[in-house]
A and B are shown apart, each in its own frame.
Chain A
């Protein structure tokens, strides 16, 4: 992992198009500004992880498929 020390208003460039700038440094957190090309998606890591975990629990095996659809149609 690359480690940098940055002060307020200083930035880091990642590749040609991504800039990460320190906007504010507080006691409990650092406020960052991200500039990235429009085809680069930027998300908080924990949001990404939540979605990944939900996706993993959404996989239905062939055997479970019938059970889920049955639960669904019964409840309709």
Chain B
């Protein structure tokens, strides 16, 4: 495990706005985001867009969902985040509520934030084929 992968969310506080130069797929015009604690639901985090359409998400560190979660960032992704090789990064997987009440989490395309540069992006790694909808909480 590299130091970047070993960093946990609790090591890092993302309190100011994070810039996503391309937004995220489906929300391309949302360039500025804040990450907040989700009240009473630790370790869930809330991602909220400050511009573009009103968009709020719940997310969780994918390594808290799967201990073995490993995702290698491409040189392109690293560069876009302004990240050095061993820099601690914040990883967040978006949580979805399915129609049957189940909560699933997108481990396939995590959001990665560099707290030093305050740059973020949703990565679509070619080398980590985790499920797009991994069940976090079963249906009601």
User: Residues on A close to B: CB < 8 A?
Assistant: 38-41, 43, 47-48, 50-62, 64-65, 67-69, 71-73, 75
Contacts and interface: CB of A to CB of B under 8 A. Distances in A.
B40 A50 contact: no
Given A54-B94, A68-B95, A73-B41, A62 B56 contact: yes
A38 B75 contact: yes
Contact of A52 (B26, B96, B140): B26
B80 interface: yes
Interface residues of B, number: 36
B43 to A, nearest CB: 10
Interface string B115-140: 00000001010000000110011101
Nearest to A55: B26
A1 to B, nearest CB: 21
Interface stretch (B6-14, B83-91, B100-108): B100-108
B94 A55 contact: yes
Contact of B55 (A38, A51, A59): A59
A49 to B, nearest CB: 8
Interface of B: 24-27, 38-41, 44, 46, 55-58, 75-77, 79-80, 94-97, 101, 103, 106, 108-109, 122, 124, 132-133, 136-138, 140
Nearest to B25: A52
Contacts of B97: 60, 64, 67-68, 71
Given A51-B108, A55-B24, A72-B137, A39 B76 contact: yes
Contacts of B27: 55
